[in-house]
Amino acid sequence: MKNEIAQKFKNLYGAEPLVVRSPGRINIIGEHTDYNDGFVLPAAIDKAAYLAIALRDDDEIHLKAEDMNETFSISIKELKPVGDIGWPNYILGSVAQFIKKGIPLKGFNALLTSDVPIGAGLSSSAAVECATTFALNELFSTHYDRIEMVKMSQKAEHEYAGVMCGIMDQFASMMGKKDHVIKLDCHSLEYEYVPFKLDGIKILLLDTNIKHSLASSEYNTRRKECAQAVEWIKEHEPNVNSLRDVTEEMLDKYVFPKDELIDKRSRFVVQEINRLQKACEDLKKGDIDAMGKKMFATHDGLSEMYSVSCDELDYLINFVRNNDAVIGARMMGGGFGGCTINLVKENAVPGLIKDISAQYEKHNGIKLDAYVVSISDGTEIM
């Protein structure tokens, strides 16, 4: 991949580039918990964004997205989010973070290519943000550490893509470690790598091919619903600062009587934070079956309480629910489309893909895509 993109860059811009790879991510359990100061259990995958980049002598930024055959250019002095095409924003948003820190940036040329499916809930945008931040940190010798670069990449998403995402996606892309999941405390940012090499079990992603167009507006709404619950509880429990600090008893007392919908949303999050802790214990004990059951429970909560699933995601989960070869499965990521994550016994994978693809297409009139992924290292120079 490195030689290929470097050669294309040379043909296009006539210079030798730096090439940075930054992966997409999966998340085993702990969904919609990151912006509630809870825990998540993500990992970087072997699908990534690749950014080839070299400095220019002027203040211009020239970009090309190889896969879409689109170009974009802007002067650093006029840096702002762009409206009609989305992908430059992930790069420009990262540039903006350096400028906000007072770094005197020069212009650059960049060529982007990625095999992270877009809109599939695999954080294709975080991959581009992290690749850009990492590359600029290198080119301008700014020496930010990885955690600082995670935060900068998250801000790029907030400010240039308008999604008030939590920290999980950028953290997983930047900090991933081969064959390990990251147990991340989104409040303190303390983290632990937990080995995740399951003998005879594969990670199968099934992509509904429903693009989550509702996702960003509904995502921001969920954030507000969670904040509302915290505000009501805080009137009585001043030490509560996020749903991380909340118990179901507090919800019974202070939220349910006021608003059943807000109660349902926040109760899912409180349960999910606890579920993740127990799932991590299962994983460390090697009790994969118990962890898998919790993944199904997470799906049900996301679908029925948090209302971020859709018919196609539910269809895929119901299809595998009683299949003995499927240890656990759930929708993954922000929701309203994208992928399900399935832990499947290796020898059953080809048969399952064949069956579920045929049935999905028949039932929903849409093609299903299937990816068997493995857990990879995070952002790196190639």
**Residue 22 or 123 with smaller CB distance to ligand GLA:** 123
Name which of 113 and 170 has its Cβ closer to ligand GLA: 170
Residue 213, judged by CB atoms within 10 A of its CB (0-12, 13-18, 19+), counts as: exposed
**Residue holding tokens 């004990």?**
285
Catalytic residue among 34, 37, 169, 263: 169
- Whichever of 129 and 312 has its CB closer to ligand GLA, that residue is 129
Instruction: Kindly state the smallest distance separating residue 125's Cβ from ligand GLA, in Å.
Output: 8
Question: What is the DSSP secondary-structure string of 215-249?
Answer: HHHHHHHHHHHHHHHHHHHHTT-TT--SGGG--HH
**Burial class, 82, CB count within 10 angstroms (exposed 0-12 / middle 13-18 / buried 19+):** middle
- Contact flags string 21-40 toward ligand GLA, x per CB under 6 A: ----------xx-xx-----
Q: How far is the CB of 302 from ligand GLA (least distance, A)?
A: 9
- Could you tell me if 5 and 113 are in contact, meaning their C-beta atoms sit under 8 angstroms apart? yes
- Using an 8 Å Cβ cutoff, are 173 and 151 in contact? no
Q: Which stretch binds ligand GLA (CB under 6 A): 58-66, 161-169, 175-183, 257-265?
A: 161-169
Active site residue 169: yes
Nearer to ligand GLA, 162 or 286 (CB): 162
Q: Return the residues of window 116-135 that contact ligand GLA according to CB under 6 A.
A: 123
Exposure string for 301-333, b = 16+ CB within 10 A, e = fewer: bbbebbbbbbebbbbbbebbeebebbbbbbbbb
Q: Decide: 96 and 159 in contact? Cβ < 8 Å.
A: yes
Query: How many chain residues bind ligand GLA (CB under 6 A)?
Result: 11
Binding residues among 305-344 for ligand GLA as defined by CB under 6 A: 333-334
- Interface pick for ligand GLA out of 112, 165, 343, 370 (rule CB under 6 A): 165
Minimum separation from the CB atom of position 334 to ligand GLA (A): 4
Quick one: DSSP state of residue 165?
-
Nearer to ligand GLA, 88 or 166 (CB): 166
Compute φ and ψ for 265, nearest 5 degrees: -60, -50
- Select 6 or 157, whichever has its Cβ closest to ligand GLA: 157
Enumerate residues 35-74 that contact ligand GLA by CB under 6 A. Answer: 35
Question: What is the smallest separation between the CB atom of 89 and ligand GLA, expressed in angstroms?
Answer: 15
Q: For helices 146-156 and 168-175, give the axis angle rounded to 10 degrees.
A: 140
Q: Does 169 bind ligand GLA (CB under 6 A)?
A: yes
What is the CB neighbour count within 10 angstroms for residue 166?
22
Please name every residue paired with 109 in a beta bridge, in sequence order, or none if there are none. Answer: 54, 62
Q: Which residues bind ligand GLA (CB under 6 A)?
A: 31-32, 34-35, 123, 165-166, 168-169, 333-334
Q: Which residues are catalytic?
A: 169
